[in-house]
Copies of this chain bind each other. A is one copy, B any other.
Amino acid sequence: MKPVTLKEIAETLGISITTVSKALKDYPDVSKKTKRLVKELAQTLNYKPNAFAVNLRTKESKTIGLIIPEVVHHFFSSVIKGIIAQAEKKGYLVIILQSNESYELEKKQLDLLFSKRVDGVLISLANGTGDFKHLNDLMAQETPLVMFDKIAKIVNCSKVIINDRKAAYTATKYLIDSGCKRIAHFRGPLLPQNSIDRFLGYKQALVDHGFVYDPSLVYILDAMSFDEGNYYAAQLLKDHKDVDGIFINTDLVAIGAINELNKRGVKIPDDISIIGFSNWFMSSVISPTLTTIDQPGYLMGKTAFKLLYKEIKKRKNNQAVVYEEVELPTELIIRESTK
């Protein structure tokens, strides 16, 4: 479905383009009835105010949009670098928008990117996103969309992912193999798929190795920040004196936890072993250095752009688009925070 133009609305209603334009802008010299008709039709056809402008310039803007939950997150930093590197090779500029984990903001930003006529959109979903109409709407207007990392399984588009469940299973199994008997998990919020999958991998590893799954050992974090790492490490010590291992959803939180445990004189890994997720470079600088899952952010960014570029070219040449799902490998990096 191509974007609807003012002209098409005008022709459908048998009135002039100017009248349509004025009606949409609530000019006083257009009748209420006409305004209502125009607005209803515009809404039905999903008209966006700028669609008219598209014919005034070349169809390719050589610009793509990127929506990520948080620019400052170390993992997304690597993704951004990968995307920009690959985009520059093909002469594309990248507009970056930060959804702040908000579904409402993500919706607005997708609208903005459409109105700015980007050639395609790369997105990693906000934690707050549980409805996907905005994504389907964008694709219905023939704007290529590729999701990466935080994806929605039910949206039909190309995706770049890692196997979060498998990676979390590997991490938890490593804690078990190294002798941990009571293993806690600091997980992410409830909605995002990767936070669900990492939790499920943790749980499965416990069950497969004869542990009884204890929900009170699972802490649900919100901001996934350094400060939350401090806070929940302190909380865990209060709640469970017998915990001897923690699998933590992301390195930034794990480093916060190490910081707090160090302060309180808890010995890592002798008293408590810790595994993080993402392999941020600070993980090898903190004392003790952090055992973690390496998540290939840079490669993920490059791959996501490549998929998007392929789709842009195919659509331009009126070729059939086949959606692809690329799964990138992860790796357990063993350092000092585990036995």
Q: Enumerate chain A interface residues (CB-CB to B < 8 A).
A: 21, 25, 49-50, 52-53, 56-58, 63, 71-72, 74, 77-78, 80-81, 84, 88, 93-98, 100, 105, 108-109, 112, 116, 226, 255, 259, 281-282, 285-287
Q: Which B residues are CB-close (under 8 A) to A78?
A: 72
CB of A253 to closest CB in B, whole Å: 13
**A97 & B97 in contact (Cβ 8 Å cutoff):** no
**B93 & A96 in contact (Cβ 8 Å cutoff):** no
Known contacts A71-B77, A72-B77; 20 additional CB pairs below 8 A are: A49-B56, A50-B53, A50-B56, A53-B56, A53-B57, A63-B112, A71-B71, A72-B80, A84-B100, A88-B105, A93-B108, A93-B109, A95-B112, A96-B96, A96-B97, A255-B285, A259-B285, A282-B285, A285-B286, A287-B287
Looking at the complex, which one of B56, B95, B226 makes contact with A95 (CB distance below 8 Å)? B95
Query: For the complex formed by this chain, how many copies does it contain in all?
Result: 2
Q: Which B residues are CB-close (under 8 A) to A226?
A: 281, 285
Bound form: Cα–Cα A98–B181 in Å:
47
**A21 & B84 in contact (Cβ 8 Å cutoff):** no
Q: Which B residues are CB-close (under 8 A) to A53?
A: 50, 53, 56-57
Cβ-closest chain B residue relative to A93: B112
Given contacts A96-B97, A285-B286, A287-B287, contact A72 B63 (CB under 8 A): no
**A84 & B98 in contact (Cβ 8 Å cutoff):** yes
Bound form: Cα–Cα A53–B80 in Å:
31
